[in-house]
Structure 1
Amino acid sequence: MDLRYWQSFLKDKVTEYLKNGFLVSLQAPTGSGKTLFSILVSFQVKPKVLYVVRTHNEFYPVYREIRKLNKTYSFIIGKSSACPFVSGDVDPEDIKCSSCEIYNSAKITVDESPFAFIKKIKKDGVEKGYCPYYSLLGSIEDSDLVLITYPYLFLPYLRESLDINIEDFAVIIDEAHNLDYLNDLQERKLNQNIIQLAKNKVKNSEVIKILDKLEVEIRKSVFSDDKYILMDNYPKLTEDELDILKDEYELEREEAVKQKKISRIYLGNILKFYTSLSEAKVFSYKGSLVSKPLTSRDMLSILNANTSFILMSGTLPPIEYMKKIMGIERRMIYIDVEKEVKSKITGNYTCMIATDVTSSYSLRTTEMWKKYASYILKIYHLAEKHILAVFPSYMIMEKIMNLIEVRKFVEKDKTNIEEIMEKTKQGKTIIAGVARGKLTEGVELTMEGKSLISDVILAGIPYPSVDDFLKLKAEQIRKITGENLIDLLISVPAYISVKQAIGRAIRSPEDKANVWLLDKRFDNIMWKTKLRCYNPRKVKL
């Protein structure tokens, strides 16, 4: 197999580190070939590979590479995606498998792409009487490479469901810049809408009475602010009330399987919120009560196990962050591919810094938003292709994009990539999204492997909000490390978000893009160094 120069140059070095018990952190830009590289070196170390991605959408590139290597593969998706009786967005715990008539597995061999294969076995499972989910679990034993998503590695109960000895595998974790947000997997939310949807399915008057009371108390207690506010006093349920809700929930689960029509059971959301409280703080956030752990350290402790791990990303956090914030204690080698080979291995970009605008909190005015809108319109008319505009928050995005009347697509809570593709077919489009949102992490607008985005706009610096959640997280980490690391918790997520946004326009070695840094705070040595914008052009309206 023909390898790129950097792959040949680093292959033996990375293999040796893995064999000697190091965790390898590999930073390589998008389109550089790190997926194939990581698989090749992993098979040099162990006979089986576990490839871990954030979402199901990231399965296909791995499938494409594994086909080149004459290796067998399988994949695991959640019950809600595998069950043939599910409709819509369902929590896996809503599915009562033990009551299902096809609750048994069949021996299967995965011989197609993941999405084509799951479509086939969902149909076959109903016709032949086997469960696609448990059959996929059974296929792990005979597969050289197994594709899973984050929950199946980092949530202990799901990892145990794989029934494997993880030390028998080399483990590749892709998009590893997301690992500090694993605590989002354990986030539980409660709001008036969830309670109302739960009531719509309930006929038991006692349950309705409990939910009516809870809805009134929630309405009185939450705030609409777009930041986390610690809640010491929030609506509680008694043990008796929880038992009544549990009984009703079990009846709904049983009936859904019996009818072979499984949809989300919102009573489950309420129960999970209240059963999560022993391990999490409770906050108000955008009209909801939210509970989640302050850090991801407990889930990330698996990385300290005696297993061969490769963490990969185009924008890895620095090693200090990985050790002190994420809690990685084992021996680790940090390899930045472009520094190792002393050359660029993917496309390039030109930086411009606007020195007359800022999203700094004290200077957020109507006039500032108008100035940002003028910049974005000017860039739109100059751009050759589509424009990705990234904002620090939904509020700022709304204020600015409401002033812009050209063709645009503005990210919403339920935005999907298909909607963007349809919009951009109409002509040059401003694609507006928030930092750390769906568009800056997932959008892949390409044709024949090359990016269709020519310009990236950073409309302000996406520093995380210094709210109650961040302060409590910093305090918990201070108790563990003895250091005040709040500056690290603010700066690292911000520059990773900026680099991720830029990466949307650089999808191949041939891509070139214009990067517009619209905030005067970018004009300092730290930002120029982190973004490798050593000689940016300064602009003003």
Structure 2
Amino acid sequence: MEREILKFFPYGKFRPYQKEAILFAYRIISKGIVGLLNSPCGTGKSVSVLTAFFIAKSNHSAGKLFVLTRTRSQLEIFCRELKGIKQHSGKNFVASILTSKQEICPKAKDDERLKKLSYHDFIRYCKDIKEMKLNGGCEYYTNTIERWRLTSRAQYALLRLKVISPLLPDELYNFCKEFKLCPHEVSKALMPYSEVVVGNYNYILSEAIRESIISKAKIKIEGIDCVFDEAHSLPDYATGMFSDELSTITVDRALKEAEEFRIDDYGFIEALDHVVRKLGLEAKHHHKFDEEHLIEKDRVIMEIRKLTGLNDVSDLCEKLILIGESVRLSKLEKGGRPTSYIGRCAEFVYSWINANNKSHVFYSLAVKNGDKEDMYRIGFKCMDPSIAGNIINQLRSTILMSGTLWEFQYYIDVLGIRKTYEALNLPSPFPRENRLILVDRTVTTKYEKRSLEEYYKIAEHLKEITKNIPGRIAIYFPSYEVANNIIRSMNTNIPILKEEKDTNIVEVLEFLKSKDRCIITGVARGKISEGVDMTEEGRSLLLGVIVVGLPYPKKTEIHEALRAFYKTKFGENAVKYSDEIPCINALAQSIGRLIRSQEDKGIIVLMDRRVSGRFKSKLPEDIRKDIKGFKKFKNLIETLRKFTATF
């Protein structure tokens, strides 16, 4: 096996425990079972599973590999590793890289209107223009596909791609632009010849995408070996696919759209507007703002029927969805953005009607909208991630891997995995002496203890801690509400970038790279706490990570419903699965931003006295064994100063 590993492994030396990861992945693929791999960030998981696949493939014990990621940056990591393996091994394999159709579309690159479309609206635009419904069609598509077959130009490009693949998304875009071809269609055409396909979770989890892309490429799901990267997020991703929300902003725009285009909707949009506002006001009465209030599913449809006199709301929704298509085309022809708010409202209500009562909850909420009128929303949320397990059980083999995948049984249970599985938990390869973990036991964000006095105390401690960390620092809070209350009292001269709900990751990285000393603040489970590689040339950009409070899920009516749902499915594990594991995962993801290489050093400060209590025993051993708790804040600062003096 050593010789086979060296044939495909493209680096001169192995990181600690990397061979164990390769052998584990090889065993999973060869046996055709499910594998759960917990290996800390920065340990080379990506190249390990790819190496294992090619060994298994050379031994005729593998199918076609699908590598699924959440983000483009993760996708590009796998693409680069594939390039390295191809160059090192001399093996002439084909790999297809599937990225967002909107990001790689030549027409969208040149048209600001298309860039600003929601992905959902862009897909509809793409479908319409391919079907020649507007603007004379798409030249990139017609240059690629003619009468359901590849054109001679596309066939020639495909021959070249088989030799030079894999290409990074930007490389593929430039290659296809040179031939005036559609990059997405070319990538799809390459799939039947590919040993490896890299894309996002939807290519396997979404039935519609599976049918339109994988089935058309004549790939059988039973022949797919699949890797889910950052698999700790798979339960939330799976439920998110079957959840949706609609706001009064969208409904108001739909009302204006109906008037502008003289659409007879039988009073549907007015009725929907009335229902959303009525239910939103109820939520405001119960919880004020930003907290969901559970409602009966049938209330929305009964109210719409009552106000419109309609019996079959579902049938009307289907008709309005088609009308929405015409509105999109008309707007584009007039130089506007091809979006339809009537179509969006109809699609939402249609999905509401068809959502499963047993696995979904239905809610309303009120949102403070700055100085403008309050905004109201209704939505439905899926609580059952086992849709992912239904697919995983059909795949030839599956590897779920992450740096925070300790509780293996949790993933087996909530994802509904029934296949034989094996698990491997690898220790951190990074020197323990490079990382200091301190606990401030004098503060807490426990809900019952929250007060302006406690927030001020935390702010003062943050000011002192950050003053003594001579580098870049990330501070994570349990919620935006807690963050805002504390940050406004934290007077510091260090530059701060606050994560907002619309914060761009590129902006955060540029801020970090432009300053030797600065602070970024975010929330647990937010954009800058998970899946973001805050590194430069392989080294961490951060010297300190501070986690304020414990990131337990917020106690809401929805969360209580989830607990009850888990109680029915998992009995005594309900609280563990609904509260404890999500909290520990969020905590671990936040502190995992710090150490990314053998040379990195840094400080982690956990600011909540609960960490040193019973909660500590629930933490992974890698974290638990290095924790130092302090009842006196001055002693924490002294320990911190001694550690930074060694830098």
Per the normalisation by structure 1, the TM-score is 0.90
Task: Please list every run of at least 4 consecutive aligned residues from structure 1 whose deviation after the TM superposition is greater than 6 angstroms.
Answer: none
1:41 Cα deviation from its structure 2 partner: 0.9
Map of 1:204 onto structure 2: 261
Pairing 1:21-32 to 2, within 5 Å after superposition: 21-32=32-43
Q: Residue 377 of structure 1 contacts residue 404 of structure 1 at CA under 8 Å; is this kept in 2?
A: yes
1:483 Cα deviation from its structure 2 partner: 4.7
Q: Residue 460 of structure 1 contacts residue 517 of structure 1 at CA under 8 Å; is this kept in 2?
A: yes
Q: Residue 332 of structure 2 contacts residue 338 of structure 2 at CA under 8 Å; is this kept in 1?
A: no
Give me the whole-angstrom Cα distance separating, in 2, the residues matched to 1:483 and 1:89: 45
Q: Residue 25 of structure 2 contacts residue 53 of structure 2 at CA under 8 Å; is this kept in 1?
A: no
Residues 489 and 481 from structure 1, CA distance in 2 versus in 1: closer, same or farther, beyond 3 angstroms? Answer: closer
Paired residue total: 535
Map of 2:189 onto structure 1: 138
Q: Residue 356 of structure 1 contacts residue 520 of structure 1 at CA under 8 Å; is this kept in 2?
A: yes
1:137 Cα deviation from its structure 2 partner: 1.3
Question: Which of residues 173, 197, 220 in structure 2 aligns to 1:165?
Answer: 220
Map of 1:283 onto structure 2: 363
Map of 2:508 onto structure 1: 420
Map of 1:191 onto structure 2: 247
Q: Residue 373 of structure 1 contacts residue 403 of structure 1 at CA under 8 Å; is this kept in 2?
A: yes
Residues 412 and 345 from structure 1, CA distance in 2 versus in 1: closer, same or farther, beyond 3 angstroms? Answer: same
Q: Residue 318 of structure 2 contacts residue 350 of structure 2 at CA under 8 Å; is this kept in 1?
A: no
Structure 1 residues 489-533: Cα deviation after superposition (integer angstroms, max 9, x where no partner): 100000000100011111112212211110000012542642234
Map of 1:18 onto structure 2: 29
Map of 2:78 onto structure 1: 62
Residues 334 and 192 from structure 1, CA distance in 2 versus in 1: closer, same or farther, beyond 3 angstroms? Answer: same
* Residue 550 of structure 2 is aligned to residue 493 of structure 1: no
Give me the whole-angstrom Cα distance separating, in 2, the residues matched to 1:72 and 1:284: 49
Structure 1 residues 147-189: Cα deviation after superposition (integer angstroms, max 9, x where no partner): 1101111111212222221333321110000011021122211
Map of 2:416 onto structure 1: 327
Map of 1:226 onto structure 2: 290
Give me the whole-angstrom Cα distance separating, in 2, the residues matched to 1:41 and 1:257: 49
Give me the whole-angstrom Cα distance separating, in 1, the residues matched to 2:577 and 2:253: 40
- Based on CA coordinates, which of the two structures has the bigger radius of gyration? 2
Map of 1:48 onto structure 2: 64
Give me the whole-angstrom Cα distance separating, in 2, the residues matched to 1:419 and 1:17: 39
Question: Which of residues 101, 124, 142 in structure 2 aligns to 1:94?
Answer: 124
Q: Residue 317 of structure 2 contacts residue 347 of structure 2 at CA under 8 Å; is this kept in 1?
A: no
* Residue 462 of structure 2 is aligned to residue 376 of structure 1: yes
Pairing 1:389-538 to 2, within 5 Å after superposition: 389-406=475-492, 407-424=495-512, 425-483=514-572, 485-524=574-613, 526-527=615-616, 529-530=619-620, 531-538=623-630
Give me the whole-angstrom Cα distance separating, in 1, the residues matched to 2:242 and 2:406: 22
Judge which range, 205-214 or 368-377, deviates more: 205-214
Question: Which of residues 114, 125, 135 in structure 1 aligns to 2:168?
Answer: 114
Map of 1:387 onto structure 2: 473
Give me the whole-angstrom Cα distance separating, in 2, the residues matched to 1:265 and 1:213: 18
Percent of residue pairs identical: 24
Residues 414 and 429 from structure 1, CA distance in 2 versus in 1: closer, same or farther, beyond 3 angstroms? Answer: same
Structure 1 residues 60-114: Cα deviation after superposition (integer angstroms, max 9, x where no partner): 1111111111143222234433442432132334323452423435343274643
SS in 2 for 1:214: helix
Judge which range, 105-114 or 499-508, deviates more: 105-114
Q: Residue 351 of structure 1 contacts residue 533 of structure 1 at CA under 8 Å; is this kept in 2?
A: no
Question: Which of residues 397, 402, 407 in structure 2 aligns to 1:313?
Answer: 402
Residues 122 and 246 from structure 1, CA distance in 2 versus in 1: closer, same or farther, beyond 3 angstroms? Answer: farther
Give me the whole-angstrom Cα distance separating, in 2, the residues matched to 1:50 and 1:501: 28
Per the normalisation by structure 2, the TM-score is 0.76
Matched residue type, 1:230? L
Q: Residue 549 of structure 2 contacts residue 608 of structure 2 at CA under 8 Å; is this kept in 1?
A: yes
1:206 Cα deviation from its structure 2 partner: 4.0
Residues 536 and 116 from structure 1, CA distance in 2 versus in 1: closer, same or farther, beyond 3 angstroms? Answer: same
SS in 2 for 1:453: coil
Map of 2:18 onto structure 1: 7
1:213 Cα deviation from its structure 2 partner: 4.3
Give me the whole-angstrom Cα distance separating, in 2, the residues matched to 1:144 and 1:349: 40
Greater relative contact order (Cα < 8 A, sep 6+): 1
1:54 Cα deviation from its structure 2 partner: 0.8
Q: Residue 94 of structure 1 contacts residue 265 of structure 1 at CA under 8 Å; is this kept in 2?
A: no
SS in 1 for 2:191: helix
Give me the whole-angstrom Cα distance separating, in 2, the residues matched to 1:230 and 1:508: 46
Residues 112 and 308 from structure 1, CA distance in 2 versus in 1: closer, same or farther, beyond 3 angstroms? Answer: closer
Residues 268 and 455 from structure 1, CA distance in 2 versus in 1: closer, same or farther, beyond 3 angstroms? Answer: farther
Unpaired runs of 5+ residues, structure 1, are none
Residues 213 and 510 from structure 1, CA distance in 2 versus in 1: closer, same or farther, beyond 3 angstroms? Answer: same
Q: Residue 463 of structure 1 contacts residue 490 of structure 1 at CA under 8 Å; is this kept in 2?
A: yes
1:212 Cα deviation from its structure 2 partner: 4.2
Q: Residue 155 of structure 1 contacts residue 299 of structure 1 at CA under 8 Å; is this kept in 2?
A: no
Judge which range, 268-277 or 48-57, deviates more: 268-277
Matched residue type, 2:474? L
Residues 284 and 346 from structure 1, CA distance in 2 versus in 1: closer, same or farther, beyond 3 angstroms? Answer: farther
Give me the whole-angstrom Cα distance separating, in 2, the residues matched to 1:197 and 1:3: 59
Give me the whole-angstrom Cα distance separating, in 2, the residues matched to 1:476 and 1:307: 30
Q: CA RMSD in A?
A: 2.7
Map of 2:642 onto structure 1: none
Map of 2:4 onto structure 1: none
Q: Residue 154 of structure 1 contacts residue 300 of structure 1 at CA under 8 Å; is this kept in 2?
A: no
SS in 1 for 2:17: helix
Map of 2:373 onto structure 1: none
Unpaired runs of 5+ residues, structure 2, are 1-8, 57-61, 87-92, 109-113, 305-309, 368-375, 634-647
Give me the whole-angstrom Cα distance separating, in 2, the residues matched to 1:483 and 1:253: 51
Matched residue type, 1:421? L
* Residue 437 of structure 2 is aligned to residue 364 of structure 1: no
